[in-house]
Structure formats: structure tokens, C-alpha cells
Amino acid sequence: MAAFRTAAAVVDALPEGELDRRIRTRTLTDLRGIGPKTGAAIVQAHAGEVPEYLARLEEAYSELVPLADDVAEFRSALRGDLHTHSDWSDGGSPIREMAEAAIALGHEYMALTDHSPRLTVANGLTAERLERQLDVVAELNEELSPFRILTGIECDIHLDGSLDQTDELLGRLDVVVASVHSDLRAESAAMTARMLAAVANPHTDVLGHCTGRLLIPREQREGRRQRPRPESAFDAEAVFSACVEHGTAVEINSRPERLDPPLRLLSLAVELGCSFSIDTDAHAPGQLDWQDNGCERAVETGVDVDRVVNTWTADELLDWTAG
Ligand SMILES: [Zn+2]
Ligand SMILES: [Zn+2]
């Protein structure tokens, strides 16, 4: 990493406007101390992206580096996860395997939040399939007690801000995570109105991965490959303030390719007094362990552990989502 420190010092010392000029004219690497790798990282960082090289390093080493004490303590306060997928939608594993992995991690509960009907690429559940899933979950819960699978959904937010499932079903679910998955490049005003409507919906408990950014490319079902994408534009202050007003938690999404919200927005949400849910958005049992990422970011931005809804007991949590 010394090369990056050197390169950062070189960039810091450049006169105003010189970095832009060098990026434009592709002459960054003419500077002493900046090579092809560090040069590429600077260009990506300058464009507001986490450099691909750094993201990969972080991913590769995160499993080897022990958690800092304060992060480990934060993590140990989490009792469950409010955003997980099974093979009923685009996850890779049966509900039971996800639940068993959560139990092995010491969790007390896991909200099962498979996708809603509109997200056909992710095999979203129709109302009929969701009804059937509720029966399956009820049976599993008898068997796995005292562990509790909370019923739920990751519900698409339509363009007009309405939610992609019947009101009746949304009312029966324990946890509703509402997320934007389409038209991510919309104008800020339209995106803000869309998110505000979803946050104000009485069924919504958690606002999922609010910016929709993807830091590194990823493989999806059927070999589909998604390219990195920047944050959606929206009025974060208005949206987070609405979250406070309507008692909707802001998700801290722990997926390494998401890490959403970005730290600057997470700090804003802390400042405005939001509640949070530190979720993995796991699509496989091993991914349930990703909460470390979210805890690290929560500690870094001064999130109060009592404001994290998944540190609460299942009963406290259900009181909150019902309210
Ligand atoms: Zn999602
Ligand atoms: Zn998800």
C-alpha cells in the first residue's frame, strides 16, 4: 500500500486544476511516483468510485484481518438479519439452509425477504407463491424454535413510489424492506419523490440499499454480468428526514459490492437521527457473515448501537414493525 500513499501525496501536491488536466490528457503516469495501477486507482477515485483494485484487495483481505474491538463488540450486539434471500427468488439455497447458517452464527432471527413479483429477472414471488412461502416458514418455525424466521419481502418500489405487492399481504408480513431496482438513473426530483412515497408507506419498515450503487462487477443468475454503477441521485436529506418521521430504518447494506449507503450519506443519516438495520442481503448461507462490513461502517460513522433495530429482540422488533 506504500505505493498508494506515495501517489496520494503526489496528487495532493498538484496545483489546482492540474489533476483534472492530467486525467483528461492521460498524463498522470508521467508524474514521478504514479504508475499504471496507482494511476488507474486515482482516475476511478476521482470519478467518485472505489478503485477496483482497492475493492478487490479489501475483499481478499477482509477475511484475514481480525475485527477491531469496537467493531466486534458492535457486531456481537446484532441478534439477526433483516434482509436475506432464498432459492424461492434469486438466492442459491433453500430457506432451511439459510436459517441453519443464521443459527450457527448465533442469530436469534432472520427475516426472509425474497423479491417481489415485478422483479422477474430475480424470480420475484407472486402473491400466490408468497402465500405458499408463509406456510412453509410457519412449519419451519415450529421445527427450528426458538430461532425465528420472520416473514418478509424485499419489495420493489414502483416508479410512482407504490409497493409491488398487495396491501393485504404486506400487512401480514413481519418485515418489509422496500428497495429501488429499476430506472436507477432517473432525475433526482423523480427519484426523491419515488423514495419519499415508499418511506411514508405504513408497510415499509426498512429502506434497502438506498443509492443502488455497485462498486465492482458481479455475476448474477444465468451468467448475467452487471457492471459497476454510480449512486442514484436523490435528495438524501429529505429522504432520511422522512425515514425519521415515519419510523423507517435506513439499511446499512453489507454486501461488498454495495456497501450502501456510502459513508458520506451514512454520516448524514446519523446526523438526522435515523434508525438503521445492518443487513447482509445474503443470497447464500456463507454471506450471512457479511455483517462485519456494515458494523465497520456503523462504527466509523458513529451509529449508536441502540438505534440499530436488529440489535433488538424479535418481540421488540415485531412491536416496531407492527407500529
Ligand atoms: Zn435489492
Ligand atoms: Zn436483496
Same domain membership, residue 145 and residue 29:
no
Distance 323 CA to ligand 2 centre (A): 23
User: Domain count of the chain?
Assistant: 2
CA of 47 to the centre of ligand 1 (A): 24
What is the spatial distance between Cα 73 and Cα 27, in angstroms, rounded to a whole number?
46
* 13 and 133, same domain (yes or no): no
How many angstroms separate the alpha carbon of residue 154 from the centre of ligand 1? 7
Q: What digits encode the pLDDT tens for the residues 5-57?
A: 667 677 777 777 788 788 777 888 888 778 877 777 777 776 666 666 666 66
What is the CA(83)–ligand 2 centre distance, in A? 6
- Which of 25-29, 72-76, 225-229, 230-234 shows the lowest per-residue confidence on average (mean pLDDT)? 25-29
- Verify that 36 and 86 share a domain, yes or no: no
Q: Give the ranges where the chain is alpha helix by DSSP (H).
A: 2-12, 18-24, 36-46, 52-62, 69-76, 95-104, 127-144, 167-172, 188-200, 236-246, 263-272, 291-300, 314-322
The answer to whether 311 and 79 have CB atoms below 8 angstroms apart is yes
Place 143 in a pLDDT band, splitting at 50, 70 and 90: very high
Considering the domain architecture, whether residues 30 and 97 belong to the same structural domain is answered as no
Q: How far is the CA of 8 from the centre of ligand 2 (A)?
A: 35
In this structure, which ligand is nearest to the CA of 152?
A: 2
Residues 249 and 181 in one domain: yes
- Tell which of 39, 61, 83 closes a domain: 61
Please indicate, yes or no, whether residues 146 and 17 belong to a single structural domain of this protein: no
How many Å apart are CA 74 and CA 94, to the nearest integer?
29
Cell of 83: 434482509
- Please name which ligand lies nearest the alpha carbon of 280: 2
Residues 143 and 86 in one domain: yes
**Ligand 2 centroid, distance to 29 Cα (angstroms):** 40
28 and 73 both lie in a single domain: no
Q: What is the pTM of this model?
A: 0.81
Contacts of 206 (CB under 8 A, 6+ apart): 82, 83, 175, 176, 177, 178, 248, 249, 250, 251, 277, 279, 309
Answer yes or no: do 39 and 156 share one domain: no
Same domain, 97 and 144: yes
Q: Which domain holds residue 29?
A: 1-61
Amino acid 16 reads: E
| Ligand 2 mean position, distance from CA 223 (Å) | 18
Question: Of 61, 94, 111, which marks where a domain is finished?
Answer: 61
Cα–Cα dist 241/274, whole Å: 8
> Is the pLDDT reported for residue 197 higher than 60?
yes
Question: pLDDT for 254-275, tens place per residue?
Answer: 999 999 999 999 999 999 999 9
Considering the domain architecture, whether residues 208 and 243 belong to the same structural domain is answered as yes
Residue 59: its pLDDT value, please?
66
Residues 179 and 288 in one domain: yes
Ligand 1 mean position, distance from CA 65 (Å): 28
| CATH assignment at residue 311 | 3.20.20.140
Give the residue among 53, 52, 14, 5 at the shortest CA–CA distance from 33.
5
Last residue of a domain, one of 41, 61, 81: 61
How far, in Å, is the centroid of ligand 1 from the Cα of 306?
Answer: 25
Ligand 2 centre distance from Cα of residue 85 (Å): 6
